[in-house]
Amino acid sequence: MSQNFDTFVLLIKHQHMPFEEIYHLYYIKIYQFVYRISFSEQDSEDIAQEVFLSLHNEIKKNKHPINTKAWLYRCALNKYININKKKKNIQLTDNINLYEKDFFNTIETDIIQNEQKKAIAKALSKLTPKEQVLLNLYNDEFSYKEISEILEIKPTSVGKTLSRVIEKLTTHIKSSSYEELCKERRIV
């Protein structure tokens, strides 16, 4: 292990987990969370790296976050908002890579997968940004209390808005061609 690595072996007081472990545990989750909001691979990679850099700096200053997972998500969300302020006119569905190719898939399955993604993104774009984030946080198995802390809303309103948002999204998904495509692939 190089000398640089020694600086990373910093213990978090509350969770007693080294930075390296947190990084390997949450990097993919943060990356995927940002991607599901931004639909940009470049942005999600940059934000994920910046989030862990700021966590590292926080630990260096002995400012250990109490709830590391919630802190990481909150930090990622703030960074995404800052980046998004500069790019106001970008539509969500435009960013999806239609020609994303998996080595093991045939061309047909690739096209179907990308069409599905586009349909979901279209349905998601009909929600407000806050609703999208709420849904993604729920998907990442956060409790109501944690969601309310991250989004700075009342914990009592989390359940109500979530149920409304899920209902809204399912109607949008059903109305789009996604369901038919899913039936073909026997996903649903």
Closest CB 12 distance from another protein, rounded Å? 16
Nearer to another protein, 74 or 134 (CB): 134
Chain contacts with another protein (rule: CB under 8 A): 2, 4-5, 7-8, 20, 23-24, 27-28, 31-32, 35-36, 41, 44-45, 49-50, 52-54, 56-57, 100, 102, 113, 116-117, 120-121, 123, 135-136, 139, 143-144, 159-160, 162-164, 166-167, 169-170, 173, 178, 187-188
Closest CB 169 distance from another protein, rounded Å? 6
Query: Whole-angstrom Cα distance, residue 62 to residue 55?
Result: 11
Number of residues assigned to the chain: 188
Closest CB 149 distance from another protein, rounded Å? 15
Instruction: Assess contact for 9 and 19: CB atoms under 8 A.
Output: yes
What distances in angstroms separate CA 156 from CA 94, 101, 159, one per listed residue? 35, 43, 7
Nearer to another protein, 8 or 149 (CB): 8
3-state helix/strand/coil string of 6-68: HHHCCECCCCCCEHHHHHHHHHHHHHHHHHHHHCCHHHHHHHHHHHHHHHHHHHHCCCCCCCH
Closest CB 80 distance from another protein, rounded Å? 14
